[in-house]
Structure 1
């Protein structure tokens, strides 16, 4: 039951349930002669006008006319609240009948001339709504075409500094104002790209770029408060992709004046290097001058160089078709490089002209390849809505660094840096024309590594320096890692099997290498000399140990150093070695050699020692060595008391690794030193890389497709089958 002191509900006496705002009274206050009353009324209005039902009642009460009047004539906070109210009214798609040329001009004027942030925000919001409104317009509007970018053009003609002021607002300390300004720039760009002619929208985009919009947005993308500007920044990034995609989709056409001028500019820049080269070769500048004076130069200029385009790196003398994959975007990138690095371009052409054709770096094709690499790297073909969806789905605290790609905005600089990296690799590898695809793949890996691995806050000049200084050897290592991962994904179990086979082959290879060291023999210090004079040994006698040719016995003997030379150049004959150990009686080989680190660890130990344990045979000569035994299960003939059969004291860590692991592998045990393990891995990995480099990726089990069975149509029975060769 409604209280009796409340007036009956009607259109003229409606109360908002949440704010208890009387619409009719509010509208009446908007027309008050007192500014304070108007200011309070419009202040309340801005918090309620976003409700569509409230907006309908407000318009029905005649409030729209009064709000428009305040928007045109008010000042201070009253104006700020009016602009905010009008912007929110347009957001709910109401009030379009009041949008006319006078209102738009007022909004543009405020954006250009007014310094207050709260007024600028509202004005920019209204502008965004006007530009973003569908071009069909409202049928009830007296001016249905007052929407889109063209609605602003008459006002911009009066205030030509509009775009400049708009871009300057991107540097404001107020993040909300930055967001409003960028949102308006995005709306202008999208409308121009969508509705302007092919001749007009590139000019507008170029105008924005000249005003510094790229640098301003790049700085905002690197800012720590990125989340406050996430949506307009993400839209600008998406629009950048839209632009790149549109340029790529425009086929190069020499019938178009702009395209013809771009090609001509590249050609003219190249002719200077030819003239300079001819002048240097001829050595007669005066003669050239005389020819020009006589008109001979005119005839020469009309007769084109027989390789006018091929010498620039195109494949044919009809370059238009070679832009098919990258369109006018590839033409722009090549033209930008030639224009901004003309001296480098001409110098390189001059250098290449002295080389055989197969060794000349194809500058043009390299440029087109880098454009294509960047296009794929930044996923330009990806829908501009995908980034927004990802942003909504992902945790913003984690996703921002991965979602935003500030380097995309510096496309031209990355293209130049990638192209220069291509030139550097071409020279470093002494590449020839047949190597073009391999070089392109290296540049692709380079860009994926450097540009793809760059943090959001990394400056573009640091990326350029890294691209310029990336070592070729490191790049090749990356290539092999990626190649292995690629085949791992494609072949899975097959590649694992190949790796296991190669690891086994590597083990056998190293086993043979270690065994050959034992077959060659080596000198070792005698234990008593080591004890007397230190780890290096200082006695005159030394022990020579050698494996027998049948690999069953270990022969050894003690000799005077002076007789054979301790440097290892002269060694005793195998028959001259008086003692031997039957390897079938050896139970174990132990050592104090480190199994983890290199010689630096061994150097801290007093002496490197390899001890061969075994079981005594019928001969008593081995029992002369002192026993420091422990019970073991034997691998030789019978069990018994284990004794030390022989002690070796290698002079270096490498020699210790060779002998310790060589003996272990002869006993069919696994090697244990880090040096041997590293060698096995090295041999196995090289074997795998060699196999990968000699197999095309397309060979991977037909990539899941069954090969077509050839038809027997037209065949007779006149054939034979060779067991070795097939049909």
Structure 2
């Protein structure tokens, strides 16, 4: 017998493994046939692999065929063949170039209208594949579709399939939108978008999609598109029951607004779109026909509503980033109006009749009562951006539209002492800045954002009403916290949590938002913060690195608890004697010697002086103790009619000969201390509930101290991997 051993070097083994990975086992099918198992070598060219497949299927002209995924119907190319997975199901189909040739021939010289419709249908289905689309575009397919759509007779199914194919082809980014679009084409699409009655759903949906993409991707056709679209017609499309049409309509409005030029000279620019979005009709249609529909809102519709909400709030950015200009008479009159409504209206004096002419001067005492910081010149309170003059706009809205609440709030605080006064002016500025931060005013909508709040679609002045509710919430929370001026930031932090928590419930209306806030009092916020802190501590304590650290620290903590128990035993405790007489209150004392060798005990009088060891005549050596028993197992409890509370506090030390030292502890804390201490002397584990609670408390405190430097740093569930050992250790430093 001979045995042959072949040694392969690591490089050879690696090459063999790679060779096995390069060979993929896949199933390949052709129409009307059962799939067959094939092996495809990724190192062999795709063309050669297709030829081998054709030979096994007895298919000639292998140059006319390509491989395609059976499920997605995406063609496989040399660039994408690396994405093929083991066990994939492929199809042997005509190559994209051959399919394009057939479609182009059918489109240019169709035998009948039905054949043309079938060719366009095949085109719209195949255009989702980038390989096919690139081949069709190379044959000037985009130009043919644009020209076809421009024709007056292009209607019905022909138009629907043509628009679908155009969208799919342009979606791959092979052609620039400015190069593909024409004036006549856009005019035809705009006419389809503006069509209200008898508009085909598919054609309208595709037309809205083309217009949106044209606005987003074209630089030279924006004004033409904006001028050609009637906004009222877009609002009518939102009332249709077709969710895709509603979604595309909102997307078109959003894109028109986002791409609107910032120049103020052009009539009908961004202001035109923002005015449309502020119309009650537009808001009502969105609310009743989109948000409050019985069907669930999809992810894409939620995204479009998110974008719409962000764009609507961003119309406030200009005022938010603008300082109050003292030279503008109207702005200074707003400040005077705040003062007049608060103090003169309450005295039945018209603020309008009191408005001075010309230059306006401010009374510092009035603006001190209003809670402004710069009482001599309140203009300076609006010098910081954000929130700029937006906060003044909101304060004036509050004073005009909720006059009773405004007067009540101002007068209530002005009647308090200076220490507990809630400054209306200062809090309004800070609340406005807080609301701008929460709603991210001034930031562009994210591509994946889906958060929107239905309540902001229920009011013509949603942000202003939002402010009015929140400024009254601030005053309410201030009173609940019994706050002083130094607590301003603390109150603001609580109000922030209240607003965010209420918004997270997505209330359906402003009244629903107010009801949510009523349930989120200051005490409720404290409970939630406490629970969050406990949850975080519990989560962190379960991380593997923390658990390992706890196991390392735990023995030290247990030793500390044992030492504390022994120290208590050395100090000693007074126990009541066991007697059947209720009035017998005589006591005896027991304590452990400092060397932990002997228990000293004996009777004591009623004095509170701790007896010394030398005054206690009886002794019990620790070495003589057999065991400790508790509860109903104690000799003095077993044969006596003891009350339940007495049984729970009883314990006995058994020693030779059959004798026992019996105890009734004054309370549960002393019972735990003594039983733990005696078990420690006997070398046993501490079993009391107090030992466990002390361990949990001390271990938690120790972990917090040790992890203090990791505050706000996430603790991983698993420790970092240990790197592999080096191939050699020839990396020691050598002298130059």
Query: TM (normalized to structure 2)?
Result: 0.59
Q: What secondary structure sits across from 2:663 in the alignment?
A: strand
Contact preservation (8 Å) 1:249, 1:328: yes
Corresponding residue for 2:193?
Answer: 108
Q: 1:300 to 1:408 in 2, by over 3 A?
A: same
Contact preservation (8 Å) 2:127, 2:168: yes
Corresponding residue for 1:646?
Answer: 662
Instruction: Find 2:258's aligned residue among 170, 174, 190.
Output: 190
Question: What are structure 1's unaligned runs of at least 5 residues?
Answer: 4-14, 138-146, 280-284, 389-402, 530-537, 560-569, 594-601, 617-622, 628-642, 699-727
Instruction: Find 1:127's aligned residue among 211, 215, 223.
Output: 211
Q: What secondary structure sits across from 1:189 in the alignment?
A: helix
Q: How many residues align?
A: 566
**Matches for 1:118-517 after TM superposition, within 5 Å:** 118-135=202-219, 137=220, 147-148=221-222, 151-156=225-230, 161-169=232-240, 172=241, 174-192=242-260, 201=270, 204-209=273-278, 210=280, 211-212=282-283, 215=287, 219=291, 224=296, 226-227=298-299, 229=301, 232=304, 236=308, 243=314, 246-247=317-318, 250-254=321-325, 268-269=337-338, 271-277=340-346, 279=347, 304-307=362-365, 309-316=367-374, 317-319=378-380, 321-327=382-388, 330=391, 341-376=402-437, 384=445, 388=448, 404-407=450-453, 410=456, 412=463, 418-447=470-499, 451=503, 454=504, 464-476=514-526
Q: What secondary structure sits across from 2:98 in the alignment?
A: coil
Deviation of the 1:274 alpha carbon: 1.1
Asked whether 1:69 is paired with 2:151, we answer yes
Q: What secondary structure sits across from 1:358 in the alignment?
A: coil
Inter-partner Cα distance in structure 2 for 1:687 and 1:47 = 66
Corresponding residue for 1:535?
Answer: none
Contact preservation (8 Å) 1:614, 1:644: yes
Q: 1:550 to 1:426 in 2, by over 3 A?
A: farther
Q: What secondary structure sits across from 2:479 in the alignment?
A: helix
Inter-partner Cα distance in structure 2 for 1:193 and 1:580 = 101
Task: Give CA-to-partner distance per residue, 1:233-262, whole Å, 9 cap, x none.
Answer: 565577578x289458622343797xx867
Contact preservation (8 Å) 1:378, 1:408: no
Task: Give CA-to-partner distance per residue, 1:117-172, whole Å, 9 cap, x none.
Answer: 2122022123213322433x2xxxxxxxxx2255333542xxx5224224435xx3
Q: 1:349 to 1:663 in 2, by over 3 A?
A: same
Task: Give CA-to-partner distance per residue, 1:565-620, whole Å, 9 cap, x none.
Answer: xxxxx999988xx9876587495655349xxxxxxxx998993142141657xxxx
Corresponding residue for 1:712?
Answer: none
Deviation of the 1:360 alpha carbon: 1.7
Inter-partner Cα distance in structure 2 for 1:129 and 1:118 = 17
Inter-partner Cα distance in structure 1 for 2:100 and 2:630 = 89
Instruction: Find 2:161's aligned residue among 50, 66, 81.
Output: 81
Task: Give CA-to-partner distance per residue, 1:218-238, whole Å, 9 cap, x none.
Answer: 939997563454664565577
Corresponding residue for 1:21?
Answer: 102
Q: 1:90 to 1:336 in 2, by over 3 A?
A: farther
Q: What secondary structure sits across from 1:18 in the alignment?
A: helix
Alpha-carbon RMSD: 5.9
Inter-partner Cα distance in structure 1 for 2:358 and 2:254 = 50
Inter-partner Cα distance in structure 1 for 2:455 and 2:570 = 61
Asked whether 1:660 is paired with 2:672, we answer yes
Contact preservation (8 Å) 1:252, 1:324: yes
Corresponding residue for 1:54?
Answer: 136
Q: 1:557 to 1:606 in 2, by over 3 A?
A: closer
Contact preservation (8 Å) 2:120, 2:162: yes
Higher helix share: 1
Task: Give CA-to-partner distance per residue, 1:170-221, whole Å, 9 cap, x none.
Answer: xx3x443333223212212212375667996356335324422774799399
Q: What secondary structure sits across from 2:651 in the alignment?
A: strand
Q: 1:647 to 1:321 in 2, by over 3 A?
A: same
Query: TM (normalized to structure 1)?
Result: 0.59
Question: What are structure 2's unaligned runs of at least 5 residues?
Answer: 1-59, 63-95, 457-461, 633-641, 713-736
